[in-house]
Amino acid sequence: MNDPSEINAFYKDAFQELGNIGAGNAATALSQMVGRTIGTSVPKVMIIPIEKVPEVVDANEQIVAGIYLKVYGDIPAKILVTFEHADLLALTDLLMGQPMGGGTSLLNEMRISALKELGTILTGSFLNALAKFLDLQMIPTVPALAIDTMPSILNTLLVELSQDARFALLIQTEIFETETRLTGNIFLIPEADALDTMIKAIQKAAGVIDAG
């Protein structure tokens, strides 16, 4: 996107609703997987100059586990799931059905694989709900994991986008386990090419007739 004024309030609301639909489905999937109640926050829709994204999203250089997938199909996008570093052991305990905080202090291969699996399930269910709602095809790649600072991870994702656009659209939704407040974030970052398709699909889904 090169001109943020292209996105009016109607589409901002619609993007927020996409976050809701995706994260709701992801929360349901995770809830079934671990047998706990999973909540979601109201999604944040951000349209920011690419250079400003890391400081707007997290200026504190928090260390996170980032699970990153690319999405191909009708809406090329990047999807990123992040968890705070401090939560990773408890989170993997939960995934592996072990007592939380009782086990090892090491993030071994088994736990890393569990995290990637979690990323796959969350992003897969997120994208599935979106694809169904918009009646479009969205095909994710395999997940890649990095444990690093949030700004570095965002920096890496945005560099590619910065070749094609000056502004980034980010839809950020928090999902959390209600009992222990383990929290993750799902970011959907559409590529520059994807916006037109998204807007047309939203119009169609919302029954808006495009008179233009």
Q: Which of residues 125-184 bind another protein (CB under 8 A)?
A: 141-160, 162-166
Q: Which of residues 13-52 bind another protein (CB under 8 A)?
A: 50-52
C-alpha 2/C-alpha 28 separation (Å) is 36
Beta carbons within 8 Å of 42's beta carbon, 6+ residues apart: 16, 20
What's the one-letter identity of residue 195?
L
Three-state DSSP at 174 gives: strand
Torsion, Cα 54 58 63 64, to 10 degrees, reads -80
C-alpha 146/C-alpha 152 separation (Å) is 10
Nearer to another protein, 55 or 179 (CB): 55
Nearer to another protein, 30 or 157 (CB): 157
CB of residue 85 to another protein, shortest distance in Å? 8
Nearer to another protein, 26 or 158 (CB): 158
Q: Would you count residue 106 as binding another protein (CB under 8 A)?
A: no
C-alpha 86/C-alpha 64 separation (Å) is 8
Q: Which of residues 183-212 bind another protein (CB under 8 A)?
A: 192
Nearer to another protein, 20 or 152 (CB): 152
Q: Total residues at the site for another protein (CB under 8 A)?
A: 37
CB of residue 59 to another protein, shortest distance in Å? 8
| Spatial CA neighbour of 128 closest among 29, 10, 11 | 29
What's the one-letter identity of residue 36?
R
C-alpha 159/C-alpha 177 separation (Å) is 32
CB of residue 149 to another protein, shortest distance in Å? 5
CB of residue 122 to another protein, shortest distance in Å? 17
Nearer to another protein, 42 or 159 (CB): 159
Q: Which residues in this chain contact another protein in the complex, by CB under 8 A? A: 2, 50-52, 54-55, 61, 63, 68-70, 141-160, 162-166, 192
